[in-house]
Amino acid sequence: MTKGRDLKPHIGIFGRRNTGKSSFINTLVDQDIAIVSAIAGTTTDPVKKSIEIFGIGPAIIIDTAGIDDVGELGQKRIAKSLQAIKTVDCAILMIHEQFGKEETSLIEKFNELEIPFIVIHNKSDLGLIAPEILEELKQYDAPVFEFSCIAKTNKEKIIEALKQCIPESSYVKPSLFKGLIKKNDYVLLVTPIDSEAPEGRMILPQVMAIRDILDKHAIVICLRETELKFFMENSNLKPALVVTDSQAFHYVKEVIPENIPLTSFSIIFARMKGNFPAYLAGTPQIELLNENDHVLILESCTHQVSCEDIGRFKIPDWLQKYTGKKLNFEVVAGLNEIEKEITAYSLVVQCGGCVTTKKQINNRLLPAIKAGIPVTNYGMLIAYVNGILKRATEAIKE
């Protein structure tokens, strides 16, 4: 498991070449963190920079290549910039003197993915925005600001607009156990150790779970599945909730009594980050899979693959055994582009998404949901094929 992407709010800056996107970043944070040149096309690929914006706090700002780039290589750069839209919580459309199809195509993409945005007319020291452009922008219902990197025009107003623009869920500290546990509750975490586990440390979902339990002044008990039966038979403690690695559902469900709530790390992440209602609706559609159907597996992280890899080996094996059908599987890792048309798939399976933002996961799933393709997540799929989806989700349904 990689360390993961930063879960700070992501702000993307988009526009034509030489509109001053990189200069704006430097002015915004009062640092020279982006390369600036009068030569159009200096920024070639989307570049992420971890910054501190006064009034917003830690954030990831994404500087993208010009949307009007030219040539074969330029088209590839444009494609990368468009892909970056899917990863942001809010966007800045940077313009200077021009407003045409390049800008309207960006706005259409923002609206399609439900990305809130503001418009900045940069280099206002060279001339203000043309009245006809300002009039055209009114139809898009987005804040419009004049800005000059020299005079720092409207800097504070722009920061305030970004604060209003960034969804609250992207900067408010998320909670895995919100509403599930209370002070002094015992929470039992079942954490198998296999070849996929990192040497000498816990994986990120387990670490996040432990911290959230401690923050709620509850009591965490962490053990391997091999010690679970001994604990349950020899301890007088009754957990308020048991959270297991989804891969151990088949064993844990037999050891934990029915009157004790049971779920998995992946499922509580699905509630916090994914589209939980869509997962609930999509998971039972496993029953409708046909011979040779195609299934898309979406991994949010990138990691070294072993024969115990859950997304590439275990889930395909379990799903084919459960359905009795030969299925075709394709894995797309990280935030890489899904190259095939989404309609080529009969099911989309998303991992828990511990290393991505809620917006990134939802944008990842949106094309499938719009196309009516069932979506599920690792934990809910595993619970379903083990016959305990209702039990595993009962405690956390909102």
**Which SS3 state, helix, strand or coil, does residue 303 take?**
coil
Spatial distance between the Cα atoms of 319 and 381, rounded to a whole number of angstroms: 8
**pLDDT tens track for 76-131:** 888 888 989 988 989 999 999 899 999 999 999 999 988 999 999 999 988 899 99
- Is the domain of 85 the same as that of 135? yes
C-beta separation of 353 from 297 below 8 A? no
Please say which residue of 124, 146, 170 terminates a domain: 170
Any domain includes 16 = yes
Q: What six digits make up the tokens of 301?
A: 């992280």
**pLDDT tens track for 166-197:** 876 555 567 899 999 999 999 999 998 876 66
Q: What six digits make up the tokens of 47?
A: 């570049």
The total of structural domains in the chain comes to 3
Q: What is the CATH number of the domain that holds 52?
A: 3.40.50.300
- Is the domain of 295 the same as that of 356? yes
Phi, psi of 321 (to 5 degrees): -65, -40
CA atoms lying within 13 Å on the CB side of residue 308: 9
What pLDDT score does 197 carry? 62
What pLDDT score does 333 carry? 84
Residue 31 has pLDDT above 70, yes or no: no
What pLDDT score does 305 carry? 45
What pLDDT score does 311 carry? 83
Burial label, 393 (beta-carbon count in 10 A; 0-12, 13-18, 19+): buried
Any domain includes 180 = no
Strands 57-63 and 47-53: antiparallel
- Is the domain of 235 the same as that of 355? no
Q: Which residue has the tokens 């957990």?
A: 239
Any domain includes 190 = yes
Higher pLDDT: 302 or 203? It is 203
Q: What is the CATH number of the domain that holds 243?
A: 3.40.50.11420
Confidence of residue 45 (pLDDT cuts 50, 70, 90): low
Return the sign of the alpha-carbon dihedral for residues 105, 107, 108, 114.
Answer: positive
Residue 229 has pLDDT above 60, yes or no: yes
Of 159-168, 227-236, 374-383, where does mean pLDDT reach its minimum? 159-168
C-beta separation of 238 from 392 below 8 A? no
C-beta separation of 273 from 208 below 8 A? no
3-state secondary structure 362-393: HHHHHHHHHCCCCEEEHHHHHHHHCCCHHHHH
Return the sign of the alpha-carbon dihedral for residues 360, 361, 364, 369.
Answer: negative
Please say which residue of 248, 268, 288 terminates a domain: 268
What pLDDT score does 22 carry? 83
Any domain includes 249 = yes
- Is the domain of 379 the same as that of 288? yes
Confidence of residue 71 (pLDDT cuts 50, 70, 90): confident
- Would you tell me how many other CB atoms lie within 10 Å of the CB of residue 348? 25
Residue 338 has pLDDT above 90, yes or no: no
- Is the domain of 161 the same as that of 36? yes
- Is the domain of 233 the same as that of 352? no
What pLDDT score does 204 carry? 83
- Is the domain of 253 the same as that of 110? no
**Which residue range(s) make up the domain with 244?**
186-268
- Is the domain of 15 the same as that of 142? yes
- Is the domain of 127 the same as that of 35? yes
What pLDDT score does 36 carry? 41
- Is the domain of 153 the same as that of 202? no
What mean pLDDT comes out for the span 199-226?
Answer: 91
Q: What is the CATH number of the domain that holds 366?
A: 3.40.50.11410
**pTM higher than 0.75, yes or no?**
no
